[in-house]
Structure 1
Amino acid sequence: MSKMMKRWLVVSLRIGLAIIAIMLLDGLKSLEQKHYAEIREVITKKGGIVVKIENYTPKETPFLNDYNKSNVIYKITYSHKNKTLTAWYRGVNVVNNIHAKNPTDLEGGHGEKWIFNE
């Protein structure tokens, strides 16, 4: 293989990897936006106003034993009737269905779940 072909192959591989990385990051951002929209919709339906949404590691949440890699945990601070309240949301990391009941059948995945501390 000539030097020119090797360079072209290396450049092509780098461009391909960059495109894949951009697509993955875009997918993750889209998933986060879907979770945030779901959080705002649920809190609004309860008559609340979202103040803050934070991503948490499972060890610091009520989902300590109810979580796996197919999930993401959010702590939501919201106001309702002049009170500041907290809710926890276990989201599902499936871009095309954030409401999946068992996102990873082979690994015992956990579906979406809410915990309200009222």
Structure 2
Amino acid sequence: MLGSIIVTLLIGIPLVLIVAKLHDDNLKKEIARVIEQRGGQVILIEKMNVEKDLTPFESEAGNYNIVFKIEYTIGNTRHIAWYRGVKTINNIHDQSPGGGFDNRYGEKWIFGDQ
């Protein structure tokens, strides 16, 4: 019994870490795509800690969210954008994480050039 628990953990933990990394990579690709559609060039995409870091989503981010700070340029002007996504693997644009919440925890952008 203990052996099967250990084997499950040895397989499960790396699998969860790999899936989380792939999800973050997909979100970063989507962020770069959106910034480029706006005529911008991404400089930096930084994953924020929603519990510790100060973000514009402080009052509306929760356990189901992942927040990125994006530094980008349009022409010679530097801007900052914020992206709040949801931690659902199957759909990075999900609007209702957890099923029972309202849409305030779904995908949202705040652009610095608006």
TM-score, normalised to structure 1, is 0.86
CA distance in 2, matches of 1:18, 1:55: 27
Q: 1:70-109 CA distances to partner (integer Å, 9 max, x unpaired)?
A: 1011000001111111000001100110101111222446
Counterpart of 1:74? 68
More helix by share: 1
Letter in 1 for 2:106: G
Counterpart of 2:18? 26
2:8 to 16, 19, 40: 16
Q: Are 1:48 and 2:40 an aligned pair?
A: yes
The total of aligned residue pairs comes to 110
Q: Which segments of structure 1 move beyond 6 Å, counting only runs of 4 or more?
A: none
Structure 2 stretches lacking a partner, 5+ long? none
Which one is further off, 13-22 or 69-78? 13-22
Q: Which has the larger radius of gyration?
A: 1
Counterpart of 1:86? 80
Percent of aligned positions that are identical: 35
TM-score, normalised to structure 2, is 0.89
Letter in 1 for 2:108: K
1:103 to 93, 97, 106: 97
CA shift for structure 1 position 23: 1.2
**In angstroms, what is the RMSD of aligned CA positions?**
1.4
